[in-house]
Amino acid sequence: SIPLSFFGGIGGASKKGILVKGSNYLEALASTEIVVFDKTGTLTKGVFNVQEIHEVGISKEELLEFAVYAESYSSHPISSSLKRFYQEEINNERISGVEEVAGHGVIATVDGKVVMAGNGKLMEKMNIPYNNEEIAGTVVHVAVDNIYGGYILIADEIKEDAAEAIHGLKAADIKQTVMLTGDSRNVGEKVARELGLDRAYTELLPGDKVDKLEEIMKEKSINGKLCFVGDGINDAPVLARADIGIAMGGLGSDAAIEAADIVIMTDEPSKIAAAIKISKKTKIIAN
């Protein structure tokens, strides 16, 4: 039988916007040793502002328009951010043959031209010579009919409560806080440093994230648990693999909410430490 106080715990959590899908997850949370975070949309807002458009051979306007049109069907936060910046109406009749390359970017036919928009990995994969100098930020490179057209430099912001979130976990005796991201090394390491995370792994493809999680799992003690916190964009398999998968419910995808054991409705990472606190109290009462 389930101790009554577990229901109290779940009820208390839900009042804080933390939806726990079963008492077993609340109980497991009390034994958390390692918390692994996704970056974009989890520790950062997932809202990128355009900082700079660096065009090569075409105009800034053309570069932006090709990128926005190619991105038009993507559900990645980069896509919505570029659409928001573009502001104009998008004519879907100009777009066909859209392909999303997870962890890389998108390829689509726009006005009959093949447009690629994504990171350096996408340019390398498609054999497009590009500007690969160290650029301090997240970059969307654009190629039109196999010719490099330049890049758009974009920047995301750290969530208001993210530093407090990591601090709260340390205060709750969590042994390791880790970040996994597909973003570039300079961006990922900067965020990790600013937040005081113990470690960060960057430039990971969606499949690499699962492999890395498996590796980190081995660091737990026998009864210890690992939580993964993500927004479900390219990390639903990682959410499913962790002992406890926690999804951001507001910005997060339906796939994330489906794959997760716990959903944070307010998208605030500081709710993880709050949930662990509730789980520990619930356990004491249950014993």
Binding site for ligand ADP (CB under 6 A): 38-40, 71, 74, 76, 78-79, 103-106, 117-119, 138, 140, 181-183, 206, 233-234
> If contact means CB under 5 to 8 A according to the sort of partner, which of Mg ion, ligand ADP, none does residue 138 touch?
ligand ADP
Q: Are 242 and 1 in contact (CB under 8 A)?
A: no
Question: Interface with Mg ion includes 119 (CB under 5 A)?
Answer: no
Q: Which stretch binds Mg ion (CB under 5 A): 5-13, 33-41, 116-124, 253-261?
A: 33-41
Nearest approach in angstroms of CB 143 to ligand ADP is 12
Q: Count how many residues are written for the chain.
A: 287
Nearest approach in angstroms of CB 122 to ligand ADP is 7
> If contact means CB under 5 to 8 A according to the sort of partner, which of ligand ADP, Mg ion, none does residue 72 touch?
none
Residues 83-116: b if buried by 16+ CB within 10 A, e if exposed = bebbeeeeeeeebeebebbebbbbbbbbeebebb
Question: Interface with Mg ion includes 79 (CB under 5 A)?
Answer: no
Question: Interface with Mg ion includes 40 (CB under 5 A)?
Answer: yes
Q: Which one is catalytic: 38, 183, 243, 261? A: 38
Q: CB-wise, 9 or 232, nearer to ligand ADP?
A: 232
Question: Interface with Mg ion includes 239 (CB under 5 A)?
Answer: no
> If contact means CB under 5 to 8 A according to the sort of partner, which of ligand ADP, Mg ion, none does residue 270 touch?
none
Q: CB-wise, 70 or 244, nearer to ligand ADP?
A: 70
Output the CA torsion 263→260→73→126 (10° steps): 130
Residue selected from 117, 233, 263, 278 as contacting Mg ion according to rule CB under 5 A? 233
Nearest approach in angstroms of CB 55 to Mg ion is 28
Residue closest to 126 by CA, chosen among 146, 150, 106:
146
Q: CB-wise, 76 or 271, nearer to ligand ADP?
A: 76
Residue nearest to ligand ADP (CB): 182
Q: CB-wise, 13 or 122, nearer to ligand ADP?
A: 122
Nearest approach in angstroms of CB 243 to ligand ADP is 21
CB under 8 Å to 91, separation ≥6 — which residues?
none
**Is residue 38 annotated as a catalytic residue, yes or no?**
yes
Q: How many other CB atoms are found less than 10 A from the CB of residue 249?
A: 20
Q: Are 131 and 143 in contact (CB under 8 A)?
A: no
Nearest approach in angstroms of CB 55 to ligand ADP is 17
> If contact means CB under 5 to 8 A according to the sort of partner, which of Mg ion, ligand ADP, none does residue 252 touch?
none
Compute φ and ψ for 219, nearest 5 degrees: -85, -10
Residue closest to 254 by CA, chosen among 242, 239, 243, 269:
239
Nearest approach in angstroms of CB 256 to ligand ADP is 11
> If contact means CB under 5 to 8 A according to the sort of partner, which of Mg ion, ligand ADP, none does residue 202 touch?
none
Place of tokens 């249950």: 286
Q: Catalytic site residues? A: 38
Residues that bind Mg ion (CB under 5 A): 38, 40, 233
